[in-house]
Amino acid sequence: MHFPCKVSLRTRALKLIANQHPERPPFSRFSTGSTTKLVSPVNRPLLDRFSTLKVPPCSGFAKAVQLKQIHAQIITSGLPLHKLFPFCVESGNIDYARIAFDRARVLCKFDRNAMLQAYSKSAVPERALLLFREMLAVGDHDSGPDKYSFTFLIAACSRLDRSCNCHSMVVKKGFERDTFVKNSLVSMYVSFGAMEDARKLFDGMTEPGDVVLWTTMVGGYMKFGMVGLALELFDEMPDPNDVTWGVVIAGCVKNGRYKDALSIFYDMLQCTNVKPNEASLVCALSACAHLGALDQGKWIHVYVDKRGVICSSNLATALIDMYMKCGSITHARRVFNSVSSRKDLLSWTSMITGLALHGLGREAVDLFLHMLDVGMKPDHITLIGVLNACSHSGLVDQGRQFFHGMQQLWGIVPTVEHYGCIVDLLGRAGFIDEAVNIAKCMPVEPDIVIWRALLSACRIHGNLALAEEIMHHVDRCDPLDHGGSKILLSSMYASSNCWDGVARVRGTMCKQRIQLVPGWSSIEVKGVIHEFVAGDRTHPRAADIYQKLDELFNRLQAVGYSPSTLRISFELSEEDKEQAMYWHSEKLAVAFGLLSTEDGFPIRVVKNLRICEDCHSAMKAISRVFGREIIVRDRSRFHNFKQGSCSCRDYW
Ligand code: ZN
Ligand code: ZN
């Protein structure tokens, strides 16, 4: 049988050990020969090399054979039995460890604990509990559980996701004051999300606890969305290290607190004893990407360059992603080209996805083909990017080819996301029947994204009857209607003057107390992020902004723009509808941008929802009248307004 090179490395190491320690220890009936001599002293560096070796992936039989070889060598070289256990865990053969454990004539406490630890890491952590009970039953000082046994038991309980009374056992056996055991208990409660119990123990610690424990608590709060408590505890923390800072920044990003993430990142830079690690930099860049904070993102890029931070593939990908999402394709390309020699799949994928986001479908597809030419194999995320690119640019034939060929060409089985892309692509392009067919015949249940894509295809192509049918599926998948599908349907009714339909939808919305995601837009001016919601009057310059809006509206009307009020379906007077349109958050953000940036300076706005038709045509007009480039990133893509037209060519 031909084994991978790791095996030959291991065999060499084993031979080396075997040559140095040819004796066989007396403690096991597993010995491969008949002579028994005393345990020989262990060669430390060799042992270290030995312990870093891994069992390569191979068949169950091969694994068993290899384990036997390793076991034999451990015996021959006089190493203690527990050196065998990590190999058993890694090869998924914990039973072998147990057989060796049971057959051993002499077992020390260390062996028992190692077996406990092996169980806690194995696929059967519940057996750690049984072994622990056996240890309790023996009960004498030498073989009964000690503090290490408890930490392994707690680790097993964490894996099992239940405490199995281990806390009370700790108290009963008098280990509740042991810092080591307490730390494990806190981590266990954190892993369950039982943050109150964790906090009680944490607060009751007589010693201040170590940085790892604090970080575990802070990370736990972040993981379960308790950002306020996490930040409070973080403020109290005596000496956070770079990992703690990283956990806090990542937690803020995960919980959508992007501004907080950035301000904590800047606080970190002020500290003399810590330096941001790669994870913190990646998270800070991701916060910039979400906020569309180009200036701050550029600043971090300069920081990375000046500090000589090695631009790893992760960091390069984060930079490309940030530049793409902040609307600067040029900078993204520059980073992408600068990593030419060590471009990996991540960078290719983020570049392709970014181009798709900007509606540069052809370029994205060309880049994808180039990627294939240089021998890079795509993964399922790359394919999502490519299919999205085809979708945003109406490249129907190519999209079909990629979708139908992905399994055969690259061995990627289409997931629900890929189905979502192809349904969106076909629906937008007007092949609604084909899209519906794919949705109905797909091997997995279509998700809300797919139904919504079909619904918006119906809106684009004015197919009200099908929209009503699809709405039933939407209701089933997402009864709370987080995506505003009901608004979409009611606007379709409104545009065909079917006010009964509008009233019906509105009625259901009131009855179900549906809360729509509030729309907001943000704009970065001189490194500060300003956020607006519709009709916002909280901004310090609100009066100026509304005055600017009036001026805008007058100038736009002079060039023939008239508000399209179709999407406002409730029965307001036409003037009121116009007013409501006026105050959409993206218009407020653009008015503020016009007020506070110099002439000729592009205005970049990020919107959390899709831009509405009226704002889209208003932006086109503003870009012409004021001679400004306006870049709006909405929920699904970029719109680059220049000289009265948009990069999406009104196809979005
Ligand atoms: Zn709007
Ligand atoms: Zn557009």
Give the number of the ligand closest to the Cα of residue 521: 1
Alpha carbon 566 to its chain's center? 37
CA gap 531, 513 in Å, rounded: 26
pLDDT tens string 336-360:
998 866 688 999 999 999 999 998 9
Q: Which residues surround ligand 2, an ion (CB under 5 A)?
A: 639, 646, 648
Residues with Cβ within 8 Å of residue 259, at least 6 apart in sequence: 287, 291, 529
CA gap 609, 618 in Å, rounded: 17
Helical spans, DSSP H, in 527-584: 542-558, 574-582
pLDDT band at 491 (very low <50, low <70, confident <90, very high): confident
Give the number of the ligand closest to the Cα of residue 618: 1
Task: Please determine, for residue 248, whether its predicted confidence score (pLDDT) is greater than 90.
Answer: yes
CA gap 296, 307 in Å, rounded: 16
What is the overall mean pLDDT for the chain? 82
Whole-number Å distance, alpha carbon 593 to ligand 2 midpoint, is 19
Mind listing the domains of the chain with CATH numbers? 416-517 (1.25.40), 521-646 (no CATH)
Give the number of the ligand closest to the Cα of residue 589: 1
Per mean pLDDT, which of 4-13, 30-39, 159-168 is the most reliable?
Answer: 159-168
Whole-number Å distance, alpha carbon 612 to ligand 1 midpoint, is 4
pLDDT tens string 596-628:
999 888 999 999 888 888 899 899 999 999 999
Give the number of the ligand closest to the Cα of residue 581: 1
Count CB atoms within 10 A of the CB of residue 323. 27
Whole-number Å distance, alpha carbon 612 to ligand 2 midpoint, is 10
Whole-number Å distance, alpha carbon 557 to ligand 2 midpoint, is 20
Residue 612 is predicted with a pLDDT of 84
φ/ψ of 523, rounded to 5, equals -140, 140
CA gap 42, 154 in Å, rounded: 31
Give the number of the ligand closest to the Cα of residue 587: 1
Q: How far is CA 292 from CA 261, 329, 523, 561, in A?
A: 14, 13, 8, 28
Whole-number Å distance, alpha carbon 519 to ligand 2 midpoint, is 18
3-state secondary structure of 210: coil
How open is the CA angle 365-367-373, to the nearest 5 degrees? Answer: 105
Among the listed residues 227, 210, 229, 166, the one whose alpha carbon sits nearest the alpha carbon of residue 192: 166
Whole-number Å distance, alpha carbon 464 to ligand 1 midpoint, is 22
Q: At what angle do helices 313-325 and 294-306 cross, to 10 degrees?
A: 160
pTM summary value: 0.76
Give the number of the ligand closest to the Cα of residue 614: 1
Give the number of the ligand closest to the Cα of residue 641: 2
